[in-house]
A and B are shown apart, each in its own frame.
Chain A
Amino acid sequence: MADNRLDMLGEVCPVPLLTTQKVISEMKSGDVLTVETDYSRTVRNIIKWCDDRGYVFDVEDKDNGVWLVTIEKK
């Protein structure tokens, strides 16, 4: 089990999802990644992508317009 963090503040589509996919592909099963973003569509993109793959995810409001998306690789 390893915790990874990804700072995607200020990045817009499609960079956050592409980077998330890349980081997750290098992670081991059971590892957790937390993506920090201030882009609302990124949250939607990432959770849809996770949903399609059956990954468990959680979204947390960090601040006004800043979200933390936590993903567990299956």
Chain B
Amino acid sequence: MPVKIPPKKGLSLGVVGFITAFGIAAFITEQELLLVWIIGIALGFVLYRSGICFASAFRDIFLFRDFSMARVVIILIAISFVGIVIIQAFDTSGGFLEWVYPVGFHTAVGGVLFGFGMVLAGGCASGTLQRIGEGFILFWAVILGITAGSVLGVYHFSWWKNNFFSIDAVFLPDFIGWIPSIVLTLALLGGLNLLAMGIEKRNNSKNGLTEKDLAEKEVKSNG
């Protein structure tokens, strides 16, 4: 039986007031910040409504043999990739290139550290912010951990740079051109998505579900 729970109106108004005040303050300080403020609100809304979770995407593949969030992340990367290509292709000041670092041993170490932290804490950076917004006090502790870890990472960065950066950063379009790079990346992401879909289908047929059941499930979960 559904129970009607009165929403906390005062709290909601307080949060909206705080965000608005923050926007006005940002606009007064620097007009460009208003754009960042709008993008921030939009991103927060999309994160909250979609429930995108990088931790779940990587963890559930192994833990529950569930590829649904992994596929969401693949699609998310494909869409952001197109956006980033547009920015990179038209930005004369170099775009994202200054944040591209060479691949190496340090990448694997960073991946393992971040992966363990993410799965143990129950959320990556975006997921943690999203959960704080949803009201989980616990994730304030996680964001403290993320901040401390990031500060340590920045502090220690030059050590890794001096010891492990042996090759130059690879910017694919410089080697094979823009169009082949775009096609290659999208083909790779599409291939991964197809692979995930294939494994999902095989798992479902193990559970005795037919194509028709799956179609019905799809309709139900969307409706």
Given contacts A61-B3, A63-B5, A64-B8, contact A48 B63 (CB under 8 A): no
- For B91, the chain A residues whose CB sits under 8 A away are none
| A52 contacts partner chain B, Cβ-Cβ < 8 Å | yes
* Alpha-carbon distance A65/B5, docked complex (angstroms): 10
Determine the main DSSP class of A at the interface with B: mixed
Residues of B within 8 A of A4 (CB): none
Bound-state Cα–Cα, A38 to B56, Å: 18
List of A residues within 8 angstroms of B51 by Cβ: 40-41, 44
Number of A positions contacting B (CB below 8 A):
22
Give A32 Cβ to nearest chain B Cβ, in Å.
Answer: 16
Q: Is B155 an interface residue (CB 8 A)?
A: no
Chain B residues in the interface with A (C-beta under 8 A): 1-3, 5, 7-8, 51, 53, 55-56, 59-60, 63-64, 66, 68, 122-123, 131, 134-136, 138, 204, 207, 209, 217, 220-221
A-B contact pairs, 5 of them (CB 8 A): A12-B131, A41-B51, A48-B221, A64-B8, A65-B134
List the 5 closest pairs (A to B, CB-CB), nearest first: A12-B122, A13-B122, A61-B3, A14-B63, A64-B5
